[in-house]
């Protein structure tokens, strides 16, 4: 049997059933369910206080994420998929051609405090932090 791991955004609230602690769960398609507390808490975590691994999955799904510990107001990161842009510089025009589209690979961008966007690289602290949250 093959193993699977999944990430989805759900809504849940604590709810006991037959004197057993658990959670009422609503899935994105509107399906309502119930899960025992130990099963639920082993599979889900709040969308605040996430690991970087969960943040990456959500970035790739099109969400903006940030760290609680970031000092700058309004900062967040997001995924930029691979694409291309018209050659802008003399070097790009000389290498790719004046009318060429310059290809680039996917990357993570950061919207900084001063309202600019730049490619972003995670630090060791960012990678190991558990204070990531979704901005949506």
56, 105: one domain: yes
| Same domain? 14 vs 39 | yes
Residues of the chain with pLDDT under 50: none
The domain in which residue 35 lies consists of 1-44
How far apart (Å, rounded) are the C-alpha atoms in residues 7 and 50? 12
Identify whether residues 64 and 27 lie together within a single domain. no
Confidence at residue 82, expressed as pLDDT on a 0 to 100 scale:
97
pLDDT, tens digit, for every residue of 62-101? Answer: 999 999 988 788 999 999 999 999 999 999 999 999 999 9
Q: The pTM is what?
A: 0.77
Residue 42 CA from chain centroid, whole number: 20
Distance between CA atoms of 40 and 46, rounded to whole angstroms?
11
Residues 70 and 54 in one domain: yes
Same domain, 127 and 77: yes
* 17 and 36 both lie in a single domain: yes
Are residues 80 and 120 located together in one domain of the fold? yes
Same domain, 24 and 77: no
Neighbouring C-beta atoms of residue 54, cutoff 10 Å: 17
| Interstrand relation of 11-14 and 22-26 (parallel, antiparallel or unpaired) | antiparallel
Same domain, 62 and 116: yes
Number of domains in the chain: 2
Q: Are residues 20 and 37 in the same domain?
A: yes
pLDDT score of 3: 86
Same domain, 89 and 131: yes
- Does residue 119 share a domain with residue 55? yes
Element housing 85 (H / E): strand 83-86
């Amino acid at each position: 049997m093959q193993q699977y791991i999944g990430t989805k955004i759900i809504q849940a609230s604590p709810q006991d059933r037959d004197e057993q602690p658990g959670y009422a769960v609503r899935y994105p398609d509107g399906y309502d369910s119930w899960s025992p507390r130990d099963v639920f808490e082993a599979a889900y975590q709040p969308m605040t206080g996430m690991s970087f691994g969960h943040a990456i999955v959500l970035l790739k799904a099109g969400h903006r994420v940030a760290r609680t510990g970031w000092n700058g107001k309004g900062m967040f990161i997001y995924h930029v998929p691979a694409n291309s842009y018209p050659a802008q510089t003399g070097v790009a025009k000389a290498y790719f051609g004046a009318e060429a589209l310059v290809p680039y690979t996917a990357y993570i961008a950061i919207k900084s405090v001063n309202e600019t966007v730049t490619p972003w690289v995670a630090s060791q602290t960012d990678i190991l932090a558990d204070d990531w949250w979704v901005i949506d």
